[in-house]
Amino acid sequence: MSIFPTFTDEDIKVIEEVENELNTNEEIPREYAWDFQKNEFILKDGKFIVVEGLEALNIWIRKALITERYRYLAYTTDYGSEIESLVGKNYSKELTKSEIKRFLKEALEINPHIKGISDIDVLSYKDKITVNFKIETDLGEVKVSV
Domain ranges of the chain: 25-145
pLDDT of residue 4: 67
pTM, rounded to two decimals = 0.75
In this predicted model, what pLDDT tens digit does every residue of 3-49 receive, in sequence order? Answer: 766 767 887 787 777 666 655 546 788 899 999 999 999 999 999 99
DSSP state of 67: S
**Per-residue pLDDT band at 63 (split at 50, 70, 90):** very high
Q: Which fold has domain 25-145?
A: Nuclear Transport Factor 2; Chain: A, (3.10.450)
pLDDT of residue 129: 83
Angle at 22 between CA 17 and CA 27, to 5 degrees: 155
All residues at 6 or more sequence positions from 99 whose CB lies less than 8 Å from its CB, including other chains: 86, 91
pLDDT of residue 14: 74
